[in-house]
């Protein structure tokens, strides 16, 4: 089944001030894929696991509460490093 949602959530900056992000994708069957840990070459690590429908709903609610200005500031920082 195809991915129905993809959400990028900034979670922290590393010691050099580089923005790190978590990207969550999930499907209606509860399959969840998380992109994390940007490597030196710019590629990302991925992991996958299964969640219940209730857990997916909880994640959706959490991501919907993220401060959009915080996200915008981190995105702006990414563009600045060019």
Segment 21-46, tens digit of pLDDT: 556 665 656 566 666 666 677 666 66
The tally of domains found in the chain comes to 1
Mean pLDDT of the region 39-68: 67
pTM above 0.85, yes or no: no
* Domain ranges, residue 31: 5-80
Residue corresponding to tokens 């195809």: 2
Q: Could you tell me which residue, 66 or 74, shows the higher pLDDT? A: 66
Strands 45-50 and 31-36 turn out to be antiparallel
Strand partners, 24: 7, 34
Q: Which helix (H) or strand (E) holds 68?
A: helix 68-80
Structure confidence at residue 81 (pLDDT): 46
Of residues 27, 18, 20, 21, the one with CA closest to residue 9: 21
Contact 44, 34 (CB under 8 A): no
């Amino acid at each position: 089944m195809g991915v129905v949602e993809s959400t990028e959530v900034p979670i922290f900056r590393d010691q050099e001030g580089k923005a790190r992000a978590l990207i969550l994708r999930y499907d209606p069957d509860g399959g969840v894929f998380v992109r994390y840990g940007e490597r030196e070459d710019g590629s990302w690590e991925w992991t996958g696991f299964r969640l219940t429908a209730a857990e997916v709903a909880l994640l959706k609610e959490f991501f919907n509460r993220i401060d959009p200005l915080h996200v915008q500031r981190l995105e702006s920082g990414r563009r600045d490093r060019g």
